[in-house]
A and B are shown apart, each in its own frame.
Chain A
Amino acid sequence: MIRPKYFFGETFSILKRNFLMCFTAITTVAITLFIVGLFSIVVYDIQSIMSSIERQVELAVYLEDNISEELNEYIENEIKSWDETREVKYISKEKAMEKFKEQMEGSSILKEIQGNPLPASFEIKLTDPKKVDQVALRFLDKDGNYIKGVDEVVYGKSYVSRLFSITAVIGTITFLIIIVLVLSTIVLIFNTIRLSIHARRKEVEVMKLVGATNWFVRTPFLFEGFFEGFAGSIISVIALYFLSNFLIIKGERAIVDTMHIKELAVLGSSNAIIYIYLAILVAGGLIGILSSGFALKRYLKI
Chain B
Amino acid sequence: MIEFKKVSKIYDDGTAALKDITLSVKKGEFLFLVGPSGSGKSTFIKLLIKEISATRGSILVAGRNICNLKTNRIPQLRRNIGCVFQDFKLLPGKTIFENVAFALEVIGKPGYVIKVQVPQVLQLVGLHNKMNSYPYQLSGGEQQRVSIARAFVNRPPVFLADEPTGNLDPVTSDGIMKLLSRINLVGTTVIMATHNESVVNSMRRRVVELERGEIIRDQKRGVYGPS
Footprint of B on A, CB under 8 Å? 1, 3, 6, 13, 17, 202-203, 205-214, 216, 302
Q: How far is the CA of A205 from the CA of B89 in the complex (A)?
A: 9
Contacts of A205 in B (CB 8 A): 89
**What is the bound-complex CA distance between A213 and B78, given in angstroms?**
10
Whether B106 and A212, one on each chain, are in contact in the complex, defined by CB atoms closer than 8 angstroms, is yes
Interchain CB contact (< 8 A) of A206 among B49, B77, B91, B107: B91
Instruction: Report how far A1 CA is from B49 CA in the complex, Å.
Output: 23
- Tell me the smallest distance from the CB of A299 to a CB of chain B, in Å: 13
CB within 8 A of A209: which of B72, B78, B105?
A: B78
Known contacts A17-B93, A205-B89, A206-B89; is-contact A1 B106 (Cβ 8 Å): no
Within 8 Å of chain A (Cβ to Cβ): is B41?
no
Please determine whether B51 and A206 come into contact, CB atoms closer than 8 angstroms: no
- Minimum CB–CB distance from B70 to chain A (whole Å) comes to 12
Instruction: Kindly state whether residue B76 has any CB partner on chain A within 8 Å.
Output: yes
Cross-interface CB contact of B76 among A1, A202, A211, A216, cutoff 8 Å: A211
A302's contact among B51, B76, B103, B150, by CB below 8 Å, is which? B51
CB pair B106 A202 closer than 8 Å: no
How would you classify the secondary structure of chain A's contact residues: helix, strand, loop or mixed?
helix
B14 at the interface (CB under 8 A from A): no
Q: Which of B102-154 contact A (CB under 8 A)?
A: 102-103, 105-108, 150-151
Interface residues of B in 23-43 (CB under 8 A from A): none
B79 near A: Cβ within 8 Å? yes
Residues of B within 8 A of A6 (CB): 105
Report chain A residues within 8 Å CB of B208: none
A210-B108 contact in complex given A202-B89, A205-B89, C-beta closer than 8 Å:
no
Quick one: closest B residue to A203, CB to CB?
B91
In the complex, what distance in Å separates the CA atom of A210 from the CA atom of B107? Answer: 8
B75 touches A202 (CB 8 A): no
Q: Are A213 and B75 CB-contacts (below 8 A) given A17-B93, A202-B91, A302-B51?
A: yes
Which chain A residues border B89 with CB–CB below 8 Å?
A: 202, 205-206, 209
**How far is A185 from B126 in the complex, measured between Cα atoms in Å?**
52
Does the CB pair A213–B72 fall under 8 Å? yes
**Chain B contacts with A in 180-211, Cβ cutoff 8 A:** none
Give me 16 A-to-B residue pairs in the complex whose CB atoms sit less than 8 angstroms apart, sorted by A's number. Answer: A1-B108, A202-B89, A205-B89, A206-B91, A210-B78, A210-B79, A210-B102, A210-B103, A210-B151, A211-B77, A211-B78, A211-B79, A211-B106, A212-B107, A214-B75, A302-B51
A221 to chain B, nearest CB (A): 14
> Smallest distance from the beta carbon of B143 to chain A beta carbons, Å?
13
For B92, give the chain A residue with the smallest CB separation: A202
Compute how far the CA of A207 lies from the CA of B150 in the bound complex, rounded to whole angstroms. Answer: 11
Task: Say yes or no for B83: interface residue by CB 8 A criterion.
Answer: yes
Cα–Cα distance between A206 and B91 once the two chains are bound (Å): 8
Instruction: Assess the B108–A207 pair: CB atoms within 8 A.
Output: no
Residue of B whose beta carbon sits closest to that of A9: B105
Closest CB of chain A to B69's CB: distance in Å?
Answer: 13
The 9 closest A-B pairs by CB, nearest first: A211-B79, A211-B78, A212-B106, A210-B103, A211-B75, A1-B108, A213-B75, A17-B93, A210-B106
A280 to chain B, nearest CB (A): 33
**Residue of B51, B75, B78 contacting most chain A CB atoms (<10 Å):** B75
In the complex, are the beta carbons of B107 and A3 less than 8 A apart?
Answer: no
B75 and A206 contacting across the interface, CB-CB below 8 Å: no
Give chain B residues whose Cβ lies under 8 Å from the Cβ of A3.
108
Contacts of B151 in A (CB 8 A): 210
By beta carbon, the residue of chain A nearest B82 is A210
CA A29 to CA B114, docked complex, whole Å: 38
How far, in whole Å, are A55 and B101 apart by their CA atoms in the complex?
69
Give Cα A216–Cα B105 distance, bound, in whole angstroms: 10
Quick one: which of B10-65 are within 8 Å of A by CB?
49, 51
Chain B nearest Cβ from A17, distance in angstroms: 5
CB A67 to nearest CB in B, in angstroms, measures 86
The closest CB in chain B to the CB of A216 belongs to B106
Highest count of chain B CB atoms <10 Å: which of A1, A6, A202, A210: A210
A210 x B150 contact (CB < 8 A): yes
Minimum CB distance partner of B156 in chain A = A211
A302 and B46 alpha carbons, distance in the complex (Å): 10
Given contacts A6-B105, A206-B102, contact A212 B91 (CB under 8 A): no
Chain A residues near B75 (CB-CB < 8 A): 208, 211-214
Task: Specify which of B51, B91, B107 is in contact with A211 (CB 8 Å cutoff).
Answer: B107
